[in-house]
Amino acid sequence: MENKPLLLRLENIEISRDENVVLREASLRLHNGEFVYVIGKVGSGKSSLLKSLYCEIPIQYGKARLMDYDLRRIKCKDIPFLRRKLGIVFQDFQLLTDRTVDNNLEFVLRATGWTEKDKIEMRIADVLTQVGMQKKGYKRPHELSGGEQQRIVIARALLNEPQLILADEPTGHLDPETGAQIVQLLHDICHSGTAVIMATHNYNMVRDFPARVVKCENGYLSDIQE
């Protein structure tokens, strides 16, 4: 990976929530097209780390650079532009329940500046095909299984061709077999050139789909040699 451009550089950062330090002196480097698991117990700081990368939680100290953005000094008006370069996959889906799959995806595209109907329809078809859901666009979220909903969430994350996908416990509400399919899909996306950071406490997934592993423990972040 060293010959690929550096996408993310964190050096001795500190993250706090409700005045409690959850990560200190944390450092992490991520290159384009790299897959990294962030593992650790519930409450160890995995989600806080991901949220700091899309500026939901501020980074108090250290150096933090993601793509062309200094996360310590980013202006509020620039945060939406950073987020357009990221794909975010939540554990609890966060789909709009009163809209079809196609309408969920169209909403995101229009909110991020897409205006031409033909291009919108083509992009929606492309991402649904990429996640194996090309025949489900007319359905509403409640008509889909948990695994299907998570595939739609991943399709949504891919809409603006992000350089990095942040997946926060994406298999947390899924059975083991379905969860394995979702992790395989994220690895496939990574192999096509998109970097992925996946927070999980499911060590079976880490074992079955090997990649670089970083651990949150006792407020610190450390690379694990697998």
> What's the mean per-residue pLDDT of the chain?
91
Backbone phi, psi, residue 211, to 5°: -165, 180
pLDDT given for residue 73 in this prediction: 93
Mean pLDDT, to the nearest integer, of 161-169? 94
Q: Is the pLDDT of residue 71 over 80?
A: yes
Q: Is the pLDDT of residue 1 over 60?
A: no
pLDDT given for residue 18 in this prediction: 81
Mean pLDDT, to the nearest integer, of 47-64? 92
Range 1-85+162-226 classified under CATH 3.40.50.300: yes
User: Are 44 and 24 spatial neighbours (Cβ–Cβ below 8 Å)?
Assistant: no
User: Are 175 and 142 spatial neighbours (Cβ–Cβ below 8 Å)?
Assistant: no
Instruction: Report how far residue 88's alpha carbon sits from residue 167's, in angstroms, rounded to the nearest whole number.
Output: 6
194 or 43, which is more confident?
194
Domain boundaries, the chain: 1-85+162-226, 98-161
pLDDT given for residue 79 in this prediction: 93
Instruction: Report how far residue 133's alpha carbon sits from residue 123's, in angstroms, rounded to the nearest whole number.
Output: 13
Q: How confident is the model at residue 55 (pLDDT cuts 50, 70, 90)?
A: very high
* Total-model pTM: 0.92
User: Are 49 and 23 spatial neighbours (Cβ–Cβ below 8 Å)?
Assistant: yes
What 8-state DSSP symbol labels residue 142? G
Q: How confident is the model at residue 2 (pLDDT cuts 50, 70, 90)?
A: low
Instruction: Report how far residue 224's alpha carbon sits from residue 23's, in angstroms, rounded to the nearest whole number.
Output: 17
Neighbours of 171 (CB within 10 A): 24
Mean pLDDT, to the nearest integer, of 11-29? 89
Mean pLDDT, to the nearest integer, of 81-109? 91
User: Are 199 and 49 spatial neighbours (Cβ–Cβ below 8 Å)?
Assistant: yes
> Lowest-confidence range among 5-9, 50-54, 90-94, 205-209?
90-94
Give the pLDDT confidence of 25-50 residue by residue, as tens digits: 899 999 999 999 999 888 788 999 99
Mean pLDDT, to the nearest integer, of 116-144? 95
Burial of 212 (0-12, 13-18, 19+ CB in 10 A): middle
pLDDT given for residue 225 in this prediction: 57
- The three-state secondary structure class of 183 is helix
* DSSP string of 44-108, one letter each residue: SSHHHHHHHHTTSS-EEEEEEEETTEETTT--GGGHHHHHHTEEEE-TT----TTS-HHHHHHHH
Neighbours of 78 (CB within 10 A): 14
> Lowest-confidence range among 39-48, 96-105, 161-170?
39-48
What 8-state DSSP symbol labels residue 116? -
